[in-house]
Chains A and B, each alone.
Chain A
């Protein structure tokens, strides 16, 4: 599943602006994340962190430069292939409201497997059924009891854990977490990050997290300030 050159993400001369002649948001000469490496990307709000994640996820297209994810040059593959790559290899956790309100916990967790044959295949290779795998990952995150509850009845911390379980199901190559803890208090935040690392290690997924909160950086292999690599940085 991993790219031959063993890089998770390779970004070169990336330029992005909203709209055709809009304000430039990103100008990143180089950013490379190796497989297995965990990256903490921080910077103040509005410096382009989320935009960068959207670019890596392949839902936004850069005006210039190259983004390679697991050896696939995003510019060279079709949007459908980008969608497939995202579904197969990336698990997302966002700040808040990660869950589909009308689905139960277990249905939310199994959602990616509905769209990604590769994730389903990985689950089945482990000899598990979809529900079984979902249950296992929920258990690891201490959310097993809530599996048939309505997600709207959960606390924010619980919702984030369900989102994490969903991101991890089917062992994608990386977890991209965008300010996953900003809605949590400090205790919950540390607990969540600990769980994130533990579960990601168990699934064999790399972690890329962006946050304005520098404190969390200590657990990561690499900490990067987006302003240091982004030439536009600080202007927006």
Chain B
């Protein structure tokens, strides 16, 4: 309705502010929705290609977070025997072993094999690429994730020392076994960007050296640690199938639930020849007698994770929705408060033949325009913010945001907002038509 449009233009200042407030609320709501979707997709893309995640007995989401997303450390290990057992299964195509427990200046050090390079997939079947240098060839070389190299400003050939333990700040360093940076990975948008990859042999060697040098120090300075270590040894000798003395000695001093000698791993990612076999392989691993293992399908574990995080998401969405309601209430108050000033205008329209329902339609049309423009401006604002903010989010949280056309879900949200806004217009519309009936052709102001 052109009349509505012109009437709004006439009050462009206050209407503009109303539109802005609706736009901001729409931006917030869509932003929450988009972060939700993108983070899901980002998580899903991180495990793309992996059919099963295997670790010591624990909950699915927990295992997934530890093994794939580098959040938290496994408290228990799995042995090489299990690794071999899974590897022997003919349905298994590849295994990426993961050994965690050490850090380098706040970044996680992950011991693995070249299987990581060959089989790790992210974001719809993309493989890892080196930005510079080569993969680790021996136990003295390390490959840096893109973020690690950038933030620490490391280049090829740099010598790095790994700290023992999972904390960001550790007082025990593996000074005796430094690594040399042999390569830097291209950015992936996954937690790999924030990891230091070394060979399993490197992890073993590092801890072997550590044992020789630090044993004495440990025992003297920290009796509690020694006592705990002793307790751990007793448990370890029950649970684990250790083969040589060296491992026992080692285990005594670094019970972080990680690698030892040629023995245990933190977790492994498994790829199958046939994805349909995932369920039966999972059952096989979960019921393995030799060790308490858990195998989870990443998709299923993620679903579990979302169902936990779902509450937070719903709260955020609810808040976003609430802000939109506040925006629409702002529009309502604006329309209602100007109604008094517009009584003359309404009376004129009445005198030239407008019926009460025309006035109703006028105000509904106005609120339609305001909410529709608000929704569109909100969408544009969101796109602008994402264009500016995406690199920052990607750098800090590894969340990858592409500037995409709104999904059907978002369209539905937008449509709901515009519809609600239009319906809100019924309130001032109804008032205007009531008022017009009382005022007649000459408003008594």
Contacts and interface: CB of A to CB of B under 8 A. Distances in A.
Interface of A: 50, 53-54, 57, 59-60, 79-80, 83-84, 86-88, 92, 94, 97-103, 107, 111-112, 115-116, 166, 178
Given A53-B441, A59-B441, A60-B440, A83 B6 contact: no
Nearest to B11: A102
Q: Which of A53, A59, A116 has the most CB of B within 10 A?
A: A59
A86 B441 CA distance: 11
Given A53-B441, A57-B441, A59-B440, A100 B353 contact: no
B352 interface: yes
24 contacts: A54-B442, A57-B440, A59-B350, A59-B437, A59-B440, A59-B441, A60-B440, A84-B353, A86-B353, A92-B351, A92-B352, A92-B441, A94-B441, A97-B348, A100-B345, A102-B7, A102-B9, A102-B10, A103-B3, A103-B6, A111-B352, A115-B352, A115-B354, A115-B358
B230 interface: no
A8 B122 CA distance: 84
B355 interface: yes
Contacts of B348: 97-100
Q: Which of B3, B7, B10, B348 has the most CB of A within 10 A?
A: B348
A98 to B, nearest CB: 6
A53 B441 CA distance: 9
A111 B348 CA distance: 10
Contacts of B344: 97
Contacts of A98: 348
Given A80-B355, A83-B354, 12 more contacts: A53-B441, A59-B350, A59-B440, A83-B353, A86-B351, A87-B352, A97-B344, A102-B6, A102-B9, A102-B10, A103-B3, A178-B442
Nearest to A53: B441
Ordered nearest first, which 3 A-B pairs have the shortest CB separation? A87-B353, A102-B10, A115-B353
Q: Which of A57, A94, A100 has the most CB of B within 10 A?
A: A100
Q: Dominant SS at the A interface?
A: helix
Contact of B353 (A102, A103, A107, A112): A112
A116 B350 CA distance: 12
A94 B442 contact: yes
A223 to B, nearest CB: 23
B186 interface: no
B349 interface: yes
Contacts of A87: 352-354
A59 B350 CA distance: 9
A231 B358 CA distance: 37
A117 to B, nearest CB: 10
A74 to B, nearest CB: 14
Interface in B332-383: 344-345, 348-356, 358
Q: Which of B3, B348, B353 has the most CB of A within 10 A?
A: B353
A204 B356 CA distance: 29
A94 B355 CA distance: 19
B351 A94 contact: yes
Given A50-B442, A101-B345, A102-B6, A112 B437 contact: no
B430 to A, nearest CB: 16
Contacts of A57: 351, 440-441
Nearest to B9: A102
